[in-house]
Amino acid sequence: MQNSKLQFKIKNLYFLVAIFTLSFFFLPLTVQAATTVYFDSGDPIIYKGDTFVVNLKISTPDKSINVIDGTLIYDKNKLAIKEVSTGGSLLTLWPKPPDFSGDKGHLSFVGGAPGGFQGEEGKVLKIIFLAKSEGEAKIDFLDGFVVFLNDGQGTSINPLLRQFSLTILKRPADIPAKDELQNLVKKDKTPPEFVEAIIDKYPRIFNNRYFVSFFAVDKDSGVAYYEIKEGNRDFVRIESPYPLKDQSLKESLQIKAVDKAGNASFITPKLSPIPGIPYKKYLMWIITVLAILVFVFWLRRLLKKRINKLRYNSQNKR
């Protein structure tokens, strides 16, 4: 009897040890699977006077997200933002493009990924900093940084936010200052790629005048600006949407997108098709609904006849 009790206790002990071991191994996996926003820098050694890149990234292996809305904060006494690039970002729509303030040490943005993103090490922004002074500098997140799920309901989540710290060193006399912004621009040989360029008009936009809306992406240095050429006029810098001067749409149009490296691409915008009334589609729906109603009416009459017949036979048997 005592041996049985001992064996039972040993089995329980083995069971507890197994549960603890599995929990030990699987708990880190659970933590890693959380949606995480973090910073990444390719160069661990930064000297005063260096211009370097810090990447903002997101890992979301278990959830598909489509919007990121937040503000970053940095040590304005030791760091200054020279440029923010959206080149290669998983976010392709920018309701609020990256906007930074050197006085506050803030960088705010709202970006969207229409098709959603789910995966590891998703690129959000390239932030180009200048190391102003020596010492430890931190880059962190302001309260209210949120991510929205790609679930069609606008569900927001609070991701795991990891701050970033770096030490700015005193520059040795024999090491020249580096400029990763210039290196990034020099490597960019690919022009921007237009996603859309459409001519349209709406009663509530530009007083129902024709306008052109456009958008391009650049995977390397990012889009710097857009220009338009209307007819024989010169190219002028514009932003989307832009009201056209020629409302008769007889003049030729050309839009140019230029990235920060000076690479350019051109496109001729197309007139948005005016949706007609889909009579054929509605007619098919009407025919289908009528057919269903006729079938239901016929089925009800058939069932009613059978019920009456059963009642008649039952009464005759009596």
Q: How far apart are CA 316 and CA 318, in angstroms?
A: 5
Cα 102 from chain centre: 26
- State the pLDDT at residue 59: 95
- State the pLDDT at residue 210: 92
Sign of CA dihedral 219, 225, 226, 232: negative
Q: How far apart are CA 52 and CA 40, in angstroms?
A: 11
Beta bridge partners of 135: 168
CA 80 vs CA 56, 103, 174, 198: distances in Å:
16, 10, 24, 38
Do 185 and 260 contact (CB within 8 A), yes or no? yes
Q: How far apart are CA 50 and CA 149, in angstroms?
A: 37
- State the pLDDT at residue 278: 44
Residue 112 makes CB contacts below 8 A (sequence gap 6+) with 66, 67, 91, 92, 93, 94, 95
DSSP 128-146: EEEE-SSEEEEEEE-TT-E
- Is 0.85 surpassed by the pTM of this model? no
Q: For residue range 85-96, what is the model confidence (pLDDT) as tens digits? A: 888 888 888 888
- State the pLDDT at residue 294: 60
- State the pLDDT at residue 272: 79
Do 255 and 269 contact (CB within 8 A), yes or no? yes
- State the pLDDT at residue 190: 87
Tokens encoding 206: 């530009």
- State the pLDDT at residue 24: 42
Starting at the earlier edge strand, list the strands of the sheet with 211-217: 242-243, 211-217, 193-200, 270-271
Q: How far apart are CA 226 and CA 60, in angstroms?
A: 33
Tokens encoding 71: 């503000």
Q: Tens digit of pLDDT per residue, the chain (318 long)? A: 545 544 544 445 444 444 444 444 444 444 446 889 999 987 778 999 999 999 999 999 989 999 999 999 999 999 999 989 888 888 888 888 899 988 899 999 999 888 899 999 999 999 999 999 999 999 999 998 999 998 888 888 899 999 999 999 999 988 898 888 887 788 888 898 888 889 998 888 898 899 998 888 887 878 889 999 999 999 999 988 899 999 999 999 999 999 888 899 999 998 877 544 444 444 555 666 566 666 556 556 656 666 666 566 666 655
- State the pLDDT at residue 186: 82
- State the pLDDT at residue 177: 87
- State the pLDDT at residue 88: 83
- State the pLDDT at residue 179: 85
DSSP 281-294: HHHHHHHHHHHHHH
Q: Output DSSP code: residue 220.
A: S
Closest residue by Cα to residue 179 from 55, 75, 82: 82
- State the pLDDT at residue 133: 92
- State the pLDDT at residue 135: 92
Return the CATH architecture of domain 36-186: Sandwich (2.60)
Pick among 1.20.1070, 2.60.40, 1.10.1060, 1.20.1300: CATH of 193-271:
2.60.40
Say how many C-beta atoms besides its own lie within 10 A of residue 109's C-beta: 22
Tokens encoding 49: 């006077």
Starting at the earlier edge strand, list the strands of the sheet with 223-230: 236-238, 223-230, 253-259, 264-267
Amino acid at site 181: L
Q: How far apart are CA 39 and CA 37, in angstroms?
A: 7
Max CA separation in the chain (angstroms): 118
Q: How far apart are CA 159 and CA 143, in angstroms?
A: 12
Mapping DSSP to helix (H, G, I), strand (E, B) and coil, where does residue 78 land?
Answer: coil
- State the pLDDT at residue 25: 43
In which residue ranges of the chain is CATH 2.60.40.680 found? 36-186
Q: Output DSSP code: residue 262.
A: S
